Amino acid sequence: MSTIFSAKTKSGIVEEGNSDDKPIFVSVSGLIGAGKTTLCKDLGKVTGMPVYHEPVTSNPFLEDFYREPTLHSFPVQVHFLVSRFAHHKQQIHAGMQHQGTGAIQDRSLHEDSVFALVQNRRGVMNDRLYDTYRLLFDTLAMQVPLPDVILHLDVPPKICLQRIRSRGRQMESNIDLEYLIELKTAYDEFFDGMAERTVVLSIDWKEFVDVGMLWNTRILPKLRTLKRHQSGNPPTGRHHLDMS
């Protein structure tokens, strides 16, 4: 079982923690093309925790949205939201409650609202549809626990766009730099808000690093320090990991 003070590494080494530790719920977050899915897979191997990827490919509106965003922004976001909610309740919550394991999630339900906000600001989703989306989002989000830590992969929009182009997914061909810049602005607002409720760790992810080193010598020590300094209360705040 991986907890805030206990992580099984690929080599089998286990760092023991306090007896009152609970399984840790980790969410990996960032722009499209930041490298979330790859990091999630590697973290799963390092920690032994199950990885839950976002249900993107099953969204029947996604390709239509990229072609005609105004027509499909509302159904694509509602489908993402409801799918993430069902995914969390049926798999992540069940695994953590009944199996006593931690979890690594590729983009949490809570950040689904970031994309809807950008669609509204761009005029792609009108105010009535956005307000309806927010009503549904607020209702569902109250039923889903916050991650214990959000790992924010901090990657400039230009580099994200390069990565998007290099992976060559046809349905992403209409994503442009302006959209990614607007998305980054909304994400920064999201992280500031979430930092009042949980821990947000920003990681410079312009270059990939060894994930075992990242987890064992950067993330875990930071979480231990935060827990010590906020004794009696769950750690919160937005923090930048020193990768030097």
pLDDT in tens, 116-146: 999 999 999 999 999 999 999 999 999 998 9
The per-residue pLDDT for 90 is 75
The confidence band for 17, taking pLDDT boundaries of 50, 70 and 90, is very low
Q: What does DSSP say about strands 25-29 and 149-154: parallel, antiparallel, or unpaired?
A: parallel
Mean pLDDT of 34-58: 89
What backbone torsions phi and psi does residue 196 show, to the nearest 5 degrees? Answer: -80, -10
d(CA 95, CA 136) in angstroms, rounded, equals 25
Which is nearest to 238 in space by CA: 204, 200, 184?
200
Q: Answer yes or no: is pLDDT of 8 > 60.
A: no
pLDDT at 87: 83
Q: Which residue has the higher pLDDT, 240 or 98?
A: 240
Whether 9 shows a pLDDT value over 60: the answer reads no
106 is catalytic: yes
Residue in 42, 106, 148, 154 annotated catalytic: 106
Architecture of the domain whose range is 25-240: 3-Layer(aba) Sandwich (3.40)
Instruction: Identify the residue with better confidence: 32 or 92.
Output: 32
Check whether 155 has a pLDDT greater than 50: yes
Which pLDDT does position 57 carry in this prediction?
65
Average pLDDT over all residues of the chain: 86
What SS3 class is residue 51? strand
Average pLDDT value for residue range 7-17: 36
Q: How far is CA 150 from the centre of its chain?
A: 6
How far is Cα 60 from Cα 200, in angstroms, rounded to an integer?
Answer: 31
pLDDT confidence tier of residue 231, bands split at 50, 70 and 90: low
CA distances from 113 to 17, 97, 134, 213 (A): 35, 26, 8, 32
pLDDT in tens, 67-108: 899 999 999 999 999 999 988 887 777 667 666 678 899 999
Report the pLDDT averaged over residues 8-32.
61
CA neighbor of 58 nearest in space, from 95, 83, 85: 83
